[in-house]
Amino acid sequence: MRKLFYLDTTLRDGEQSLGFTLNSQQKLLIAEQLVKLGVDIIEAGFPASSPGDFSSVREISNKVKGAAICGMARCVEKDIDLCVEALKKAESPMINLGLAVSPIHMEKKLKLNPAQVVERAVNAVHYAKKRLPEVQFYAEDALRSDPCFLREVFENVIEAGAAVVTVSDTVGCATPWKYGGLITYLKANVKNIDHVRLSTHCHNDLGMATANSLAGILAGADQTEGTINGIGERAGNASLEEMIMSILYLTEFENIQSGIIIKEIFKTSKMVSEITEMPIAKNKPIVGSNVYTHFSGIHQDGVIKEKSTYEIIDPEIIGAQKGKISLSARSGKAALKYKLDELGFAYHKSDLEFIFNRFKRTADNKTRVSEEDLSLLLE
């Protein structure tokens, strides 16, 4: 078995995409729930970005125990100092330092050459390592970088004391085969890579954030980063609940171990949605409200006979209500009978055909047939 570390960045990457900021109280509630969910690391914020974010990270560090607390920082001393200060009372403090490594970011944004980028990264890791026990270094825009240069950056920051190195698909341009290939290359070629954790950080611009992260994990990544409900910059981050359930469900991940308590998934998702005012799409994998509801007559007949015919995940294991049958014009006799029995309606067996015909007529004029509709129909 190998242990997979989960870093949750709902409060950092997720929060920065909301268009408003969460207060310390709201962030504290989410952080406490993330501990119950069993994530290893909570990225609580970016202390240098604002006094409010600084106090939130400090508040979480003071009060939330049971997970490592991480703060983000650029590779500049002022950012690192503020992060160290905010994390002072954390049980296991951790800093997440980042620098861009792609030609476009180095030339246009940083205005640094590759050698200067390596130097800045190494200096920052050295500086942080003297002040904090655990330093993570993330290579921003790694998927548009030269893999040989990425290898050089990682070798240097590992030598400087980084305990975690992250391959960030900052702009969400990767595919599973490309992302997995890069992780395989780094695992095979970066000196001392087995002494540190290699982490994934994927964005969802092409709808592949979860798939890319899974490809990275399959190729040997030791840590994965994501957010609850997949919230985050632009199209969002890899969704933590999608990764967790894929790893649990797919046999290729049966050697993966983690501290996640899956029963807490649904509650965590609901809480994050409410506090962040980000509604969950009805068809959002794992946590959407339609995901365990069956509409088609063929599917309804199947799940009544055997749930697993159309339900690969039992919703009750993630703390959601059991699967539902939704009656509509697409439903068949099996579903109608199931629903009538479930709701405890009394009727004569020989009347079922007659009831079914009336039900079909009602259903054609409605999107869904409710309990009240059924009771009127039986009268």
- Return residues touching Mn ion (CB under 5 A): 13
- What is the closest distance, in whole angstroms, from the C-beta atom of residue 137 to Mn ion in the complex? 14
Q: Which residue is nearest to Mn ion (CB)?
A: 13
Q: Is 111 left (phi over 0), alpha (psi -120 to 50) or beta?
A: left
Nearest of 111, 117, 115, 167 to residue 138 by alpha carbon: 167
Q: Select 56 or 170, whichever has its Cβ closest to Mn ion.
A: 170
- What is the closest distance, in whole angstroms, from the C-beta atom of residue 331 to Mn ion in the complex? 43
d(CA 376, CA 282): 29
Cβ(239)–Cβ(228) below 8 Å: yes
Nearest of 1, 52, 2 to residue 27 by alpha carbon: 52
- What is the closest distance, in whole angstroms, from the C-beta atom of residue 197 to Mn ion in the complex? 17
d(CA 18, CA 234): 10
- What is the closest distance, in whole angstroms, from the C-beta atom of residue 202 to Mn ion in the complex? 8
> Which amino acid is located at 215 in the chain?
A
* Tally: H helices and E strands in the chain: 14, 12
Q: What is the DSSP string of 32-92?
A: HHHHHHT-SEEEEE-GGG-HHHHHHHHHHHHH--SSEEEEEEESSHHHHHHHHHHTTT-SS
- What is the closest distance, in whole angstroms, from the C-beta atom of residue 8 to Mn ion in the complex? 12
> Which amino acid is located at 320 in the chain?
A
Q: Select 8 or 13, whichever has its Cβ closest to Mn ion.
A: 13
- What is the closest distance, in whole angstroms, from the C-beta atom of residue 219 to Mn ion in the complex? 20
Task: Output DSSP code: residue 374.
Answer: H
Ranges of H-type helices in the chain: 24-37, 51-63, 77-86, 103-104, 114-129, 147-159, 176-189, 209-218, 240-249, 265-276, 297-305, 333-342, 352-364, 371-378
Q: Select 193 or 231, whichever has its Cβ closest to Mn ion.
A: 231
- What is the closest distance, in whole angstroms, from the C-beta atom of residue 166 to Mn ion in the complex? 10
- What is the closest distance, in whole angstroms, from the C-beta atom of residue 168 to Mn ion in the complex? 6
